[in-house]
């Protein structure tokens, strides 16, 4: 099944750890569609940012979590898929333009 690149990449993950990975290893983290594979993720990143070259894609399925809201109300957060994309040396992605 062919998905549009906007369906594959849900959002960039901006955390302290992801900022550290960008600075040290040139790796960017994204929340991706749970049906997407490594080839689709690579194509989506290269279509979204045409000036970059993807060298490697690593994928992790993040588990669902249970949490409590109030005393008796328990909720369940759905599982999701995370992709860590390594770019070629010298390439970078500007996630927040104009900031």
DSSP 6-51: HHHEEEE--SHHHHHHHHHH-EEEEEE-TT--HHHHHHHHHHHSTT
Q: Comparing C-alpha atoms, which of 91, 95, 80 is closest to residue 14?
A: 95
What is the distance between the terminal CA atoms of the chain, rounded to a whole angstrom? 36
Note the pTM of the prediction, 2 decimals: 0.87
Give the separation between CA 25 and CA 37, rounded to whole angstroms. 22
Domain 5-87 belongs to what topology?
A: Alpha-Beta Plaits (3.30.70)
Q: Tens digits of per-residue pLDDT, 48-99?
A: 999 999 999 999 999 999 887 777 788 888 999 999 999 999 999 988 776 5
Domain ranges of the chain: 5-87
CB-CB contact of 62 with 79 (8 Å): yes
pLDDT of amino acid 99 = 59
């Amino acid at each position: 099944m062919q998905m549009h690149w906007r369906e594959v990449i849900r959002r960039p993950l901006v955390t302290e750890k992801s900022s550290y990975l960008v600075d040290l290893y040139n790796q960017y983290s994204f929340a991706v569609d749970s049906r997407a594979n490594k080839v689709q993720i690579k194509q989506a990143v290269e279509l979204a940012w045409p000036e970059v070259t993807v060298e490697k894609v690593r994928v992790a399925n993040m588990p669902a979590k249970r949490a409590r809201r109030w005393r008796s109300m328990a909720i369940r957060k759905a599982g999701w898929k995370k992709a860590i994309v390594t770019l070629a040396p010298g390439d970078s992605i500007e996630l927040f333009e104009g900031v």
